[in-house]
A and B are shown apart, each in its own frame.
Chain A
Amino acid sequence: MENLFNRKYIIQGLFIVVSLILIGQLFYIQVASDRYFLSANSNVLRKKYTFPARGVIIDRNNKVLVQNEPVYDLMVTPNLVKPFDTLALCKIIGIDMAGFHKRFNKARSQSRYQRSVFEKQLSVQTYAALQERLSRFIGFETQNRTVRHYPDSVAGQFFGYVKEVSDKDIEESNGYYRPGDYIGKSGVERQYNDVLRGERGVENTIYNARNVPQGSYLNGKFDTLATSGETLVSSLDINIQKLGEQLLKNKVGSIVAIEPSTGEVLAFVSSPSYDPNLMVGRQQGNNYMDIFRSPNRPFNVRPLSGYYSPGSSFKPLDDLIALQEGVIDPNTTFNCPGGYWAGNHFVSCEHVDGNISLRKGLARSCNTYACYVFQKLMTQKKFKNKIEAYDSWEAKVRKFGLGSKLDLDMPFERKGRLFTSEEYTKRFGKSWGYTTIISLAIGQGEMSATPLQMANIMAIIANRGYYIKPHLIKAIGEKKAVKKEYLVKNSVDIDLSHFEPVIDGMQDAVNAPYGTARASAIPNILLCGKTGTVQNPHGKNHSVFIGFAPRDNPKIAIAVIVENAGYGGAYAAPIASYITEQYLTGKISGGRLAQAEAMKKLVVLPDVPKPKIKWAPKGTDSTKIPVTLPASPENKIVNTKTTPTPLTQ
């Protein structure tokens, strides 16, 4: 009996063990795991989102560059749909029955109870037609959205475009994005996406098990209204932006204009360009592919990703360094017999000027002068060897922003190219000397810069020794907030006194009768500049001009590159002068207006594989219009076999 009495404990123990199992499982589903808690919320709560309008972008003169246009998404909640005249609906939104079933089945496979998009971005007109009969299409409703509209149809690469978020975006956003949200994919829309996008509004509604709404959740405690994105004030001047795009029409190249005192980018032209409105709306995908496939790659943002040898436009910079180093003074002369022998190869000049000094050397873009300057720099006594000399020189060049990113507020900037001494040693072995790399003297060889970097060099010279980081958005939001980094002056450590001799030369390049860009002089305005004619493996030389104006208290620094167009004085310089004049005076004066109009019509397209899609917009006369533009005597380099010029653009 005693034995049996103990069985009581076995039974009681069993009861306790089992109850602990129950409590253990309860602990798991109630406390340890929040999976069921979250499922409960998704059971009951349906969130209805309202989409914010993206921020407006205005130019420096408060002209609206980007605004929002209403469109309407047609939404469907599959389980609410009652039989209706499907054909009528198809007709209104312009789809066929097969398309209807495809869309409906897609919506149903997503959720029978949650509404999903049936057709995106119906226009206002379609919406009006649909609205009249929407009451007959039970289960369908519309949802307001806005899409971008660009009234001037310019600056496509600057704006970039906005697109629906991809699965990857959603994944990377840590739950911020939901299917159907918009995100900036390139350009400013991408760079300032967080500022522009605004905040989604949300309305939480409780549903019961039969999917009947039961009112708002906690009296709307967690409901929010959509808030629009912030307004961005762009630094662009839409007038010169437009002029720049017109001048580069049917040419490949770029224009970057900077206000030197602020670093604000005034013009950001990349040609070929495209109408940003093509990247909006239901045809976005098709248009994207068309633009993507068109020749000369309009999606290339050349001002910050195009690589060009600076060519002769590098000379002022090198002269500044030489002056600072004291290897030359403004009166130092070198004899130019029409070229310069560097070891076994010859850098030729287009002219024979005899003894030539800094001012004339820059004005006439004398290669011999530049090579002597470079030779002096590389053979200074204070350096133990060529490595040290080169390193010192390289560091000074880098201060001007070459070889590294300028941190423009745009995605996908590239840093350009400037070799270190190690890279040269790697390429040429130990025995290289200044003669090996003499091409650098005239901005060729192992040196590439983006148009932005070239314009920035001009801003530095215009400012006599410093630059402010170039930027495209000068202020953000109602409060016009300015980023702190755009107030910092970056010095290049060249004494103020060295600038005037160099600027003298640049002034003569445009304004003296023997200047390389004399045809581009602007009446009453001292445009200082430097032409460049850049050799490249793709065909004719690139036409380059960099400059600033006016000489005193400069308002604009500019870099213009026209690919495969020939002399810098022939294309780039005049284009720069038109833009400068337009910007400074608001017009192009006298006979120069006709020249500018003629320039707009010139077609200078590099040889490209036969385009699948004809890129030139309709109505453009694609034949070359003969116009009398004085050809400039220009420099040329021969025998570059030691320094091939691999250009990427």
Chain B
Amino acid sequence: MSTQQGSRFFFNVDWITILIYTLLCTIGFINIYASLYNPDTSALFDFSSRYGKQMIYVVVALMMGFSILLLDAKFFSIFSPIVYGGTMLLLMVVLVVGRRVAGNQAWIPLGTFRLQPSELAKFGTALLLARYVGTFNPKFRDIKSIGIAALIVGFPLFLIMLQPDTGSALVYIAFMFPMYREGLSGYFLLIFLGMIVLFIADFLVPVYILIPIIAAIGGFFIYHNRRKQKMMFSMIMATVIAIAYLFIVKVGYEKVLEPHQRTRIEIMLGLKTDPKGAGYNVIQSKIAIGAGQLTGRGFLQGTQTKYGYVPEQSTDFIFSTIGEEWGFLGCSVVIGLYIFLLLRVINLAERQRSSFSRVYGYCVASIIFFHVFINIGMTIGIIPVIGIPLPFISYGGSSLWSFTVLLFIFLKLDSNRMGFI
């Protein structure tokens, strides 16, 4: 080990991850600049504009990131309940003092800056979940440990649903991955996947066709497990529940979801077209991305981008700028960078000695994965419109900082993997 002062903090830091992080932030800045570009008034360092602000956000984020690297690794584990509690408090505060923007009460105004507690709550939750696993080492085989984990994840989820911000809430599904890694039965993932598939199928296929299909599949497994009484019983239950689920979904869909959410889902499923209303965003986003073709129109050359055809282009729909100006190749590079980052984080997580660090690493990867998948999926029309940002790229301080903190805490934990936490 080096005895030099500087390298004591940074010796074990995974610089490759930091490099990818920096690349993504830079890509973000370039495309935010392009999406707001106006040929008449575009000084590069105009700090009143969004790209100017984003530059400040990036600088601040880097400072935050390196500050985290300077902290003691034990800090995060020890203070995780406090961080969790603090973010939960903020989530409650926002329900009281929050400013209502576009139907969601998700923002706490702080001068010119607006804080979005749901972004912070993600790493609060990640920390506490990691702490729980790190301390008690549950295998998620029993009701109790699953219940505790569900409480840790469910509480912020519940508060966010009150805002209501369904998009941010959906991201909490991500916490199933670390739990799965720690021992949660794969059935939970399968059941979850099944629920999504059935939900979509319920819209596209008439019930009288769907029920025989479910019954046939169920029948196959029941027959297959006919010698194992317990399994057979479970299969019968699963089949019955699956059929009941079809009807519950239909009712729940009408009663629980807001009309605009229903519209978004129907547009995504192709059941509805509304090019001038709710479908406008997605159509324009797809047009912009499609216009990029293989190599893109070039930096600042995207007509859809330049002339403002895609609403929310610097924030949630930033990927359409990348699509139009950098084409299929650019999009593939960005997705490639994300995948590289995610796989890298998972690999780093697996080399941790402490389960706290490992679970936290999985949380980081899963949260980023969900954001990337939902956000890009939404801009290319395979996921309903859910207003969540693209990590490191979308405009906005709250999201950039929370992802930075999320990632750098893990990098700190990783650099300290030989030590005890």
Q: What residues of chain A have their CB less than 8 Å away from a CB belonging to chain B?
A: 4-5, 7-8, 10-12, 15-16, 18-19, 21-23, 25-27, 29-31, 33-37, 39-41, 43-44, 206-210, 214
Contacts and interface: CB of A to CB of B under 8 A. Distances in A.
Given A11-B180, A11-B346, A22-B335, A30 B369 contact: no
Interface stretch (B61-69, B198-206, B262-270, B336-344): B336-344
B287 interface: yes
A22 B337 CA distance: 14
23 contacts: A4-B182, A8-B181, A10-B186, A11-B180, A11-B366, A15-B339, A18-B369, A21-B382, A22-B335, A22-B382, A25-B382, A26-B323, A26-B332, A30-B292, A30-B327, A36-B290, A37-B290, A39-B287, A41-B291, A41-B303, A43-B284, A44-B307, A208-B307
Contact of B328 (A4, A31, A214): A31
A29 B289 contact: yes
Contact of A7 (B180, B332, B343, B369): B180
B376 interface: yes
Nearest to A42: B287
A30 B290 contact: yes
Given A21-B382, A40-B288, A30 B307 contact: no
Given A18-B369, A43-B284, A206-B303, 19 more contacts: A11-B346, A15-B365, A19-B335, A21-B382, A22-B377, A25-B382, A26-B331, A26-B335, A29-B380, A30-B327, A31-B328, A36-B287, A37-B291, A39-B291, A40-B288, A44-B304, A207-B307, A208-B308, A209-B307
Contacts of B183: 4
A27 B350 contact: no
Max count, chain A CB within 10 A of own CB: residue among B287, B346, B350, B381: B287
A43 B304 contact: yes
Nearest to A207: B307
Nearest to A3: B183
Contacts of A11: 177, 180-181, 346, 362, 365-366
B373 interface: yes
A25 B327 CA distance: 13
B120 to A, nearest CB: 25
B373 A29 contact: no
A30 B304 contact: no
A27 B289 CA distance: 10
B373 A22 contact: yes
Max count, chain B CB within 10 A of own CB: residue among A36, A44, A208, A209: A36
A22 B328 CA distance: 11
A25 B290 contact: no
B286 interface: yes
A29 B369 contact: no
B307 A29 contact: no
A25 B342 CA distance: 21
B112 to A, nearest CB: 27
Interface in B326-362: 327-328, 331-332, 335-336, 338-339, 342-343, 346, 350, 362
A214 B380 contact: no
A36 B332 contact: no
B293 A30 contact: yes
A13 to B, nearest CB: 10
A12 B350 CA distance: 12
Contact of A29 (B286, B332, B338, B342): B286
A34 B308 CA distance: 21
B204 to A, nearest CB: 18
A33 B290 contact: yes
A39 B332 CA distance: 22
Contacts of B343: 12, 15-16
B198 to A, nearest CB: 19
Nearest to A9: B346
Contacts of A19: 335-336, 338-339
Contact of B350 (A8, A25, A29): A8
Nearest to B139: A4
B10 interface: no
Interface in B51-65: none
Interface residues of B, number: 45
Nearest to B366: A11
Nearest to A30: B328
B309 interface: yes
Interface in B233-266: none
B294 interface: yes
Contacts of B362: 11
Nearest to A22: B376
B292 to A, nearest CB: 6
Contacts of A34: 290, 293
B295 to A, nearest CB: 10
Contacts of A33: 290
Interface in B292-321: 292-294, 303-304, 307-309
Contacts of A31: 293-294, 328
Contact of B303 (A8, A26, A44): A44
Contacts of A26: 289, 323, 328, 331-332, 335, 380
Interface in B359-389: 362, 365-366, 369, 373, 376-377, 380-382
B181 A4 contact: yes
B323 A30 contact: yes
9 nearest A-B residue pairs (beta carbon): A36-B290, A40-B291, A208-B307, A209-B308, A30-B328, A29-B290, A44-B303, A39-B287, A209-B309
B289 A30 contact: yes
B346 A18 contact: no
Contacts of B294: 30-31
Contact of A40 (B303, B346, B369): B303
Nearest to A35: B290
Contacts of A36: 286-287, 289-291
A84 B177 CA distance: 65
Given A30-B294, A30-B323, A210 B308 contact: yes
A312 B362 CA distance: 106
Contact of B331 (A23, A207, A208): A23
A27 B293 CA distance: 8
A15 B369 contact: yes
Nearest to B368: A15
Contacts of A41: 291, 303
A30 B379 CA distance: 13
A112 to B, nearest CB: 11
B286 A5 contact: no
Nearest to B310: A209
Contacts of A18: 369, 373
Contact of A12 (B303, B335, B346, B376): B346
Max count, chain B CB within 10 A of own CB: residue among A22, A37, A43: A22
A343 B385 CA distance: 95
A8 B373 CA distance: 19
Contacts of A23: 331-332, 335
B380 A22 contact: yes
A27 B346 contact: no
Contacts of B380: 22, 25-26, 29
Nearest to A11: B177
Nearest to B177: A11
Nearest to B328: A30
A15 to B, nearest CB: 5
A33 to B, nearest CB: 7
B328 A27 contact: yes
Contacts of A12: 342-343, 346
A622 B233 CA distance: 105
Max count, chain B CB within 10 A of own CB: residue among A25, A26, A34: A26
Nearest to B291: A40
Contacts of B182: 4
A603 B288 CA distance: 72
A390 to B, nearest CB: 69
A15 B288 CA distance: 26
B366 to A, nearest CB: 8
A41 B307 CA distance: 12
A40 B335 contact: no
Contacts of B335: 19, 22-23, 26
